């Protein structure tokens, strides 16, 4: 995994992925006590950064492998990213999704042309199901994070952050990244290492699913006690990846953990101040910037909003925090 692979992915994504801007609001700056710059990957195609990695992986396949079709297992955002990237490449896609994923994500994945196979997150192993289906039908498995091309695709976000931070004169800052298995986080960290070494990635996770923060503190991979449930479904994974963890260990600062209530309040702030729809897992980094400001130093902080695929009832819960 190196910067050249990320740069190559950026060339393949050019004109296909959305080049997202950096957003800001004086109201957020005031809450955080420093300048806050927001990278809104909720605006990315399919509503999350996952489209980048999916496109990078699909576009890197040999033509005959693409023609045979792909398979992915995902709680939703990777599913939609792979479905749309596959359709654009003329490839068929099977997506293995947990039966309790948000209804919207399952419906969207089907509407994007993929075949959806549901499984029980509490009793079945999605990796095993994915591998079996792949072997049986000759499909290529597109992993959600532990894949060099997927990491490279997510890392293109980091190239854009580096470019925009430079234009804004920000040479040193923490970059708070919503972290599940670590594909987004490690990709951004690798891009920043090469392009903006003064920008340091900090993984942000929800309480109860802080495997990366604990693993970084312990110096070895640690698992979550539970691998299902919680509002932040988009970034809930059992443990950091074998490929991603060494990168996180080498390049990231300590993890930051936020509560679900803080994630909901950050969603409300994104609604009010940025006019963005964030999902709970996509709002944890903004929550860290706003409500754990003492976890960072410096005049500025850069924050990713990783996705916006949220059901209306959960969004209404976030808006309700404004009345409290």
Whether 159 contacts 191, CB under 8 Å: yes
104 lies in the site for a second copy, by CB under 8 A: yes
Q: Which of 6, 23, 173, 201 binds a second copy (CB under 8 A)?
A: 23
83 lies in the site for a second copy, by CB under 8 A: no
List strands edge to edge, sheet with 140-141: 115-119, 93-98, 70-73, 140-141
Nearer to a second copy, 250 or 275 (CB): 275
198 lies in the site for a second copy, by CB under 8 A: no
The site that binds a second copy (CB under 8 A) totals a number of residues, namely 34
Q: What are phi and psi for residue 175, nearest 5 degrees?
A: -115, 110
Nearer to a second copy, 69 or 113 (CB): 113
Tracing tokens 């708070």 back to the chain, one arrives at 176
State the binding string over 218-257 for a second copy (x if CB under 8 A, else -).
----------------------------------------
Tracing tokens 């006019």 back to the chain, one arrives at 275
Q: Who contacts 132 (Cβ-Cβ below 8 Å, separation ≥6)?
A: none
128 lies in the site for a second copy, by CB under 8 A: no
Structure token digits, residue 49: 């950064």
Q: Which of 136, 294, 312, 324 binds a second copy (CB under 8 A)?
A: 312
Q: Which of 141, 151, 263, 276 binds a second copy (CB under 8 A)?
A: 276
Whether 215 contacts 24, CB under 8 Å: no
Output the smallest distance, CB 150 to a second copy, in A. 22
Q: Which of 63, 67, 111, 135 binds a second copy (CB under 8 A)?
A: 111
Structure token digits, residue 207: 């309480």
Output the smallest distance, CB 244 to a second copy, in A. 26
Whether 270 contacts 305, CB under 8 Å: yes
Gap between the Cα atoms of 167 and 16, Å rounded: 23
47 lies in the site for a second copy, by CB under 8 A: yes
Whether 308 contacts 282, CB under 8 Å: yes
Nearer to a second copy, 219 or 312 (CB): 312
Output the smallest distance, CB 220 to a second copy, in A. 37
Nearest to 50 by CA among 95, 12, 80, 8: 80
Q: Is 256 helix (H, G, I), strand (E, B) or coil?
A: strand
322 lies in the site for a second copy, by CB under 8 A: yes
List strands edge to edge, sheet with 173-178: 35-40, 300-305, 173-178, 199-206, 256-258
Nearer to a second copy, 21 or 229 (CB): 21
Determine the Cα angle at 314 with ends 311 and 317, to 5°: 150
Q: Which of 170, 248, 277, 302 binds a second copy (CB under 8 A)?
A: 277
Q: Which stretch binds a second copy (CB under 8 A): 40-48, 115-123, 137-145, 182-190?
A: 40-48
Whether 78 contacts 186, CB under 8 Å: no
Binding site residues, a second copy, CB under 8 A:
18-21, 23-24, 26-27, 40, 42-43, 45, 47, 84, 104, 108, 111-112, 268, 271-272, 274-278, 308-309, 312, 315-316, 319, 322-323
């Amino acid at each position: 995994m190196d910067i050249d692979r990320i740069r190559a992915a950026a060339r393949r994504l050019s004109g296909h992925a959305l080049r997202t801007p950096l957003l800001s609001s004086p109201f957020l700056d005031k809450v955080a006590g420093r300048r806050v710059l927001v990278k809104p990957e909720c605006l990315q195609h399919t509503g999350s950064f996952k489209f980048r990695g999916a496109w990078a992986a699909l576009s890197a396949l040999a033509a005959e492998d693409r023609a045979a079709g792909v398979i992915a297992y995902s709680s939703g955002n990777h599913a939609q990213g792979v479905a749309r990237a596959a359709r654009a490449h003329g490839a068929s896609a099977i997506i293995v999704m947990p039966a309790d994923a948000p209804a919207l994500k399952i419906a969207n994945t089907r509407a994007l042309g993929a075949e959806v196979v549901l499984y029980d997150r509490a009793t079945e192993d999605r990796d095993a199901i994915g591998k079996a289906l792949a072997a049986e039908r000759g499909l290529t498995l597109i992993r959600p994070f532990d894949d060099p091309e997927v990491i490279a695709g997510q890392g293109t976000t980091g190239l854009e952050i580096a470019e925009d931070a430079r234009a804004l004169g920000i040479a040193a800052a923490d970059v708070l990244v919503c972290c599940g298995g670590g594909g987004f986080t490690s990709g951004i960290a690798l891009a920043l290492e090469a392009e903006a070494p003064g920008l340091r990635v900090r993984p942000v996770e929800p309480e109860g699913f802080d495997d990366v923060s604990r693993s970084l503190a312990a110096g070895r991979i640690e698992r979550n006690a539970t691998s299902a449930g919680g509002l932040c479904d988009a970034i809930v994974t059992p443990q950091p990846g074998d490929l991603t963890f060494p990168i996180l260990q080498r390049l990231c600062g300590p993890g930051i953990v936020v509560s679900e209530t803080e994630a909901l309040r950050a969603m409300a702030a994104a609604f009010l101040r940025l006019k963005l729809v964030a999902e709970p897992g996509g709002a944890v980094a903004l929550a860290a910037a706003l409500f754990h400001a003492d976890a960072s130093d410096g005049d500025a902080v850069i924050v990713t909003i990783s996705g916006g695929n949220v059901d209306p009832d959960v969004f209404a819960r976030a808006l309700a925090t404004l009345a409290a």
